[in-house]
């Protein structure tokens, strides 16, 4: 598999070409970046969140974790991580856990961390655990044009699971 049919169509409709890069099967975005020899700071991981309004994606570098307080400041949505069973229904043409960051292709709202928009090249899951997609930073920004932008992530080694303010 290279990219899911939905993502391939989304890229084509957007006038964006992406190079597919194979790597050994991975379980996490950070592991995929490592196996593919690309910087974690330029690997866009998508985290599926749910709140009273439904599902949305938070897209951030694989080198970082969501800061719940930062997420709250950006969205004012008290969200929780979606469960695997919920995620499977949202991305029917993707392997479980290989969530692409292009939520617009699946009708989902997206919040993208500003740090990714400064990268000259961005890598991401395309729908499976053995292939990543490579797009230019300009094309990534184009694909994220309808997304909200903000700062809600910090490097993984820091304390990243603080609660949102009450």
Owning domain of residue 97: 5-154
Residue 161 in domain: no
Tokens read off for 28: 């996490």
Give me the DSSP letters along 17-68: --EEEE-S--SSHHHHHHHHT--GGGEEEEEEEEETTEEEEEEEETTEEE-H
- pLDDT at site 157: 60
Number of structural domains the chain divides into: 1
Q: Which tens digit of pLDDT belongs to each residue from 58-115?
A: 999 999 999 878 888 888 878 899 998 899 899 999 998 899 999 999 999 999 999 9
Residue 166 in domain: no
- Which DSSP state fits 3? S
Residue 65 in domain: yes
Here the CATH number for the domain that contains residue 20 is 3.90.960.10
Q: Give the model's confidence band at 43: pLDDT under 50 very low, under 70 low, under 90 confident, else very high.
A: very high
Close Cβ partners of 50 (under 8 Å, ≥ 6 residues apart): 56, 79, 80, 81, 82, 86
Close Cβ partners of 103 (under 8 Å, ≥ 6 residues apart): 46, 56, 57, 59, 109, 110, 147
Query: Measured between alpha carbons, how far is 154 from 66 in angstroms, rounded to an integer?
Result: 7
Query: Measured between alpha carbons, how far is 51 from 163 in angstroms, rounded to an integer?
Result: 15
Q: Which tens digit of pLDDT belongs to each residue from 64-76?
A: 999 878 888 888 8
Contact 99, 91 (CB under 8 A): yes
Residue 163 in domain: no
Task: Average the pLDDT over 124-144 and give the result.
Answer: 94
Residue 17 in domain: yes
């Amino acid at each position: 598999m290279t990219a899911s049919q939905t993502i391939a169509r989304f890229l084509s409709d957007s006038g964006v070409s992406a190079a597919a890069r194979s790597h050994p099967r991975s379980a996490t975005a950070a592991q995929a970046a490592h196996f593919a020899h690309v910087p974690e700071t330029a690997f866009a991981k998508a985290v599926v969140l749910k709140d009273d309004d439904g599902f949305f994606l938070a897209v951030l570098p694989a080198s970082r974790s969501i800061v719940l307080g930062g997420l709250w400041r950006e969205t004012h949505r008290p969200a929780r991580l979606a469960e695997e069973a919920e995620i499977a229904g949202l991305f029917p043409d993707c392997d479980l856990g290989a969530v692409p960051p292009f939520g617009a292709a699946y009708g989902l709202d997206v919040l993208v961390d500003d740090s990714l928009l400064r990268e000259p090249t961005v890598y991401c899951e395309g729908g499976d655990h053995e292939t990543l997609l490579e797009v230019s930073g300009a094309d990534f920004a184009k694909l994220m044009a309808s997304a909200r932008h903000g700062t809600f992530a910090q490097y993984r080694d820091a304390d990243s699971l603080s609660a949102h303010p009450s």
